[in-house]
Amino acid sequence: MPPRQNPAGTPRFEDAIELARSDGFAGAVAHVLARLPRGRGSAPHRAAAANALARIGRHAEGAGDHAAAELAYAEAVRLAPRFPDLRHHHARVLLHQQRRAEGRRELNRALELNPRYAAARVELALLDAREGLLAHALDALHRLGEESRLPEPRAFRQGIASLAIADWDEAEALLKQALQLTDPGVEHVIESYHRLVSGGDAAEAAELVRQALRGRDGYADLHYLLGTAEFECGHYDDALGSLARALELHPDYHAARVMFARVLEALGDSAQAVEQLGHVLQAEPGHPQALELHENWIRRRARHAAVRTAA
């Protein structure tokens, strides 16, 4: 079956992920490559195919199939060698496979193409640190912090501090969080988590996240999701511990602090719950979940006061 065409005549590969579901990730890669002309087609044609291969790679990486992810990214790089993001994605999977020399080459190529590419700079600094070049890695990250507008500067500082004491996993999670860089494995877990919760299976969602946290303890998002699922299951003490860990990693994580306040209230510690909610509203007065919870508490207190007055 020939690939669908867009109005300009460039093939579209939006069915690539559907092919992955039926034929597996490696099969989806083969389908995309089979649709390329003998000479690999025009530049837009190759770019469209490379984009499809990158999508397959991200899904394979998220599902833990790193061999298929490496195949997809390698083919994408062959089609579009001047795309630094493809080089970075390929490097990340190579590093996961402990192919460090190849991963380093890909990161260096990405940075030759785009010297300001923050994701590749972070990945290279983490690689340097793991290979004993800690001072060089810290210097590179400090320069990145000075040159970049950081969405979450406190998490960035915490990540550098974790790197300095060789806590690689926590440093990686915090640095990527600070720059809002995505981890396909974590994205895959989050998607599955929401699907389970929306289906009413909070217990299975909690177990999914517990499994994912093995080797990913530095991800505040996962601790937050676990605490939320534990709360839904009525396991308030466990939820409190999970949310406390999320806030230890990311003190400015307002959604986690709002949930922390809800758990404290459920445990009967209303004073601490109010204090925690106050921290969020002081930092972000318009935070929607915090405002909603605050208004609910006000209405509830008003109802209780009315009942007492009537009695």
Q: Cα separation of 253 and 18, whole Å?
A: 35
121 within a domain of the structure (yes/no): no
Same domain? 154 vs 98: no
Same domain? 15 vs 91: yes
172 within a domain of the structure (yes/no): no
Q: Cα separation of 186 and 216, whole Å?
A: 9
Is the pLDDT confidence value at 133 over 90?
Answer: yes
Least confident residue range of 83-97, 267-281, 286-300: 286-300
Burial 150-164 (b: 16+ CB within 10 A, else e): bebeebbebbbebbe
pLDDT of residue 6: 45
Same domain? 25 vs 100: yes
DSSP 64: T
To the question of pTM greater than 0.75 for the whole model, the response is no
Same domain? 209 vs 300: yes
The number of domains in the chain is 3
What is the residue-wise DSSP string for 163-222?
HHTT-HHHHHHHHHHHTT---HHHHHHHHHHHHHHHTT-HHHHHHHHHHHHTT-TT-HHH
Listed in order, strand segments (DSSP E) in 6-87 are 11-12
107 within a domain of the structure (yes/no): yes
Is the pLDDT confidence value at 137 over 70?
Answer: yes
180 within a domain of the structure (yes/no): no
Same domain? 50 vs 147: no
Same domain? 25 vs 104: yes
62 within a domain of the structure (yes/no): yes
Is the pLDDT confidence value at 4 over 50?
Answer: no
What is the torsion angle, in degrees rounded to the nearest 10, for the CA atoms of residue 295, residue 298, residue 299 and residue 301? 160
123 within a domain of the structure (yes/no): no
Same domain? 306 vs 189: yes
Q: What pLDDT, in 10s, does the model give residues 20-40? A: 766 689 888 988 888 887 766
CATH assignment at residue 265: 1.25.40.10
Q: What is the domain extent for residue 23?
A: 4-115
Same domain? 194 vs 305: yes
Is the pLDDT confidence value at 261 over 90?
Answer: yes
Do the Cβ atoms of 32 and 49 come closer than 8 Å? yes
